[in-house]
Amino acid sequence: MTEPTPLAPPRRAALAPAAPTHLSADVVARARQLIGLYPEPRSALIPLCHLAQEQDGWLTPEAMVDIAGLVGVTPSEVLGTASFYDMLHTEPVGRYVVAVCTNIACLLGGAGELLEHAEDSLGIGAGGTTPDGTVTLEEAECLADCDRAPCVQVNHRYVGAQSPESFDRLIDELRSGARDADIPPHGTLIRVHRANGLAVDPDVVVEERRAAAEAKAAREAAAAPATGGGA
C-alpha cells in the first residue's frame, strides 16, 4: 500500500495581501469596518462584493483582486464564490437591472406575457442589456412579493405589479431620471449603514459568558433538591 501523498500547503499562506488599488479609499474603509463585524474575515466576502458593485455597478476583476487581499483569500476564490450568486454580476450590466419574476404565482398572474412584452419593447432577450447600457432585463425566480403579481424589481427595489403599459411607463421614467430618488443605480444595495462600531469586544464577551455559566451553575446547584448529603 502506498502512502497517501500529503496535500500541498495552502498557497495563500505565501501570498502577502496586496494593498487595494482599485477600490476607493472610502469603500476600503467601509470594507474594513464590515470585516471587523465577523469572527472570520472571509465572512465579509459577499458584503464586500456588494460594496464593489456599489462603486462600479458590477463586480470587476480588479475589485475581486482587492477583495481577495482584504479578506485573505485568492482572487479565484472570490470569483468562485461570487459566480454562485445571481446578484453578483461578473459581467457589466445596465444602470438598471429590471427583474421580472415568472415563478408560479406571477406565472398565474400573467408574468409570461409581461416578460414577452418587456423583451419586445426593450428589443433584448432576458439576460440582455439595451445598447445604451440603461437596462438589463432579467427573468427572476420568486422575489417574495407574490401578492402583487406579476412582480417586478428594479435594482432590487419593488415597483409593484406591472401591466405591459405600466411597464413601458416605468422604463420611460427610469430613462428620464424620474425615479432617481427611490431607485439608486445598480449596485447600491443598502443605503443605511451601521451607526455604531463593534459594540461588543469579543474578549469582554468571553469573560461575561464564563461569568454567566458560573452563575447558571450556581443557580442549578441552588435549585437542586437538598437531599442531605448522601446521593
Strands lying side by side in the sheet with 96-101: 135-140, 96-101, 152-154, 157-158
Asked if 161 touches ligand FES (CB under 6 A), the answer is: no
**Pairwise CA distance, residues 231 & 224, whole Å:** 12
Asked if 106 touches ligand FES (CB under 6 A), the answer is: yes
Asked if 66 touches another protein (CB under 8 A), the answer is: no
Task: Pick the stretch among 10-18, 20-28, 123-131, 136-144 that binds another protein (CB under 8 A).
Answer: 136-144
Three-class SS of residue 66?
helix
Asked if 104 touches ligand FES (CB under 6 A), the answer is: yes
Q: Would you list the DSSP string of 197-213?
A: S--S-HHHHHHHHHHHH
Task: Pick the stretch among 58-66, 80-88, 104-112, 223-231 that binds ligand FES (CB under 6 A).
Answer: 104-112
Residue 67: all three cell numbers together: 477583495
Q: Which of 33, 43, 74, 134 binds another protein (CB under 8 A)?
A: 43
Nearest to 95 by CA among 181, 170, 175, 189: 175
Asked if 46 touches another protein (CB under 8 A), the answer is: yes
Q: What angle do CA 53, 55, 57 make, to 5 degrees?
A: 45
- Please name the residues in contact with 125: beta carbons below 8 A apart, sequence gap of 6 or more: 119, 137
Q: What angle do CA 59, 64, 66 make, to 5 degrees?
A: 125
Using DSSP bridges, classify how beta strands 96-101 and 135-140 pair: parallel, antiparallel or unpaired. parallel
Asked if 156 touches ligand FES (CB under 6 A), the answer is: no
Asked if 190 touches ligand FES (CB under 6 A), the answer is: no
Asked if 105 touches ligand FES (CB under 6 A), the answer is: yes
Rounded to a whole number of angstroms, the minimum distance from the CB of residue 19 to another protein is 21
Q: Which of 86, 91, 132, 165 binds another protein (CB under 8 A)?
A: 86
Binding site for ligand FES (CB under 6 A): 101, 103-106, 142-146, 149, 151
Binding site for another protein (CB under 8 A): 37-40, 42-47, 49-50, 71, 73, 80-82, 84-88, 102-105, 107-109, 141-147, 149, 153, 155-158, 189-196, 198-200, 204-205, 208-209, 212-213, 216, 219
